[in-house]
Chain A
Amino acid sequence: MTKHDIVIIGAGPAGLAAAVAAYEAGVKDILLLERDCEAGGILNQCIHNGFGLHRFGEELSGPEYAGKYIDMLKSTDVKLQLGTTVLNIENKIVSAVSEANGFEQFEAKAIILAMGCRERNRGPISVPGDRGKGVFTAGAAQRYLNIEGYLVGKKIVILGSGDIGLIMARRMTLEGAKVLAVSEIMPFTNGLSRNVAQCLEDFDIPLYLSHTVTKVIGKDSLEGIEISKVDENMKPIKGTEKYFECDTLLLSVGLVPENELTRQAGIDLDLRTRGASVGEDMQTSEEGVFACGNVLHVHDLVDYVSAESERAGRSAAKYVLGTAAAEKDGLNVNVGLNLGYTVPQRINRVNVEKGVDIFFRVRKKIRVGEIRVESNGEKIASFKREFLAPAEMEKITVPKVLLDKANGSITVSAIDLEEEAK
Chain B
Amino acid sequence: MYDVTIIGGGVCGAAVAMYLSKYDLKCCLLEKENDIAMSTTRANSGIVHAGYDPEPDTLMARLNVRGCELIEEICEQLNIPYKKCGSMVISFDSKDEAHLEELYERGIANGVRGMELINKEELLKREPNLANDVTGALYASSAAIVNPWRLCIGMAETAAKNGVEFYLDSEVTEIEKINGAFKVTAGGKTYETRFIINAAGLYADKIAALAGAQDFEIFASKGQYFLLDKTSSWLVNSVIFQCPTEKGKGVLISPTADGNIIVGPNAESNNERDDVSTTREGLDFVAQEAAKTSKLVDYRENIRSFSGLRANSDKKDFIIGESALCRHFINVAGIKSPGLSSSPAIGEYVIEILEDCGLIMTEKAEWSYPEAHICFAELSNEEKAEICKRNPKYGNIICRCNVVTEGEILDALDSSYIKPRTLDGIKRRTGTGMGRCQGGFCGVRVHEILCKYYGIDATEVLWDKNGSNIVAGKVGESND
Contacts and interface: CB of A to CB of B under 8 A. Distances in A.
Nearest to A115: B400
Nearest to A123: B303
Contact of B389 (A102, A123, A133, A248): A102
B397 interface: yes
A239 interface: no
Contact of B475 (A105, A132, A140, A145): A145
Contact of A148 (B303, B305, B458): B458
A137 interface: yes
A383 interface: no
Contacts, number: 154
A326 interface: no
Given A124-B302, A126-B299, A220 B464 contact: yes
Interface string A115-146: 00011011110101111110001011001110
B283 interface: yes
B457 to A, nearest CB: 10
B395 A97 contact: yes
A interface SS class: mixed
B392 A102 contact: yes
Interface stretch (B112-120, B153-161, B357-365, B466-474): B466-474
Contacts of A129: 277-279
A102 B381 CA distance: 11
A124 B397 contact: no
A109 to B, nearest CB: 22
A103 B381 contact: yes
B374 interface: no
Interface string B375-418: 00000010011001100111111001101011000000000000
The listed residue with most B CB atoms (<10 A of its CB), out of A35, A100, A126, A149, is A126
Interface stretch (B200-208, B325-333, B436-444): B436-444
Contacts of B438: 121-123
A126 to B, nearest CB: 5
A247 interface: yes
Contact of A220 (B305, B392, B467, B475): B467
Interface in A214-257: 214, 216, 219-221, 236, 247-248
A152 interface: yes
A101 B303 CA distance: 33
A418 interface: no
A83 B396 contact: yes
Given A97-B388, A124-B299, A131-B307, 9 more contacts: A95-B381, A97-B405, A102-B388, A121-B437, A132-B464, A150-B472, A175-B475, A219-B277, A221-B463
Interface of A: 35, 83, 85, 87, 95, 97-103, 105, 118-119, 121-124, 126, 128-133, 137, 139-140, 143-145, 148-154, 175-177, 214, 216, 219-221, 236, 247-248, 260, 263
Interface of B: 226-227, 231, 274-280, 282-283, 299-307, 381, 384-385, 388-389, 392-397, 400-401, 403, 405-406, 436-441, 443-444, 448, 458-459, 463-476, 478-479
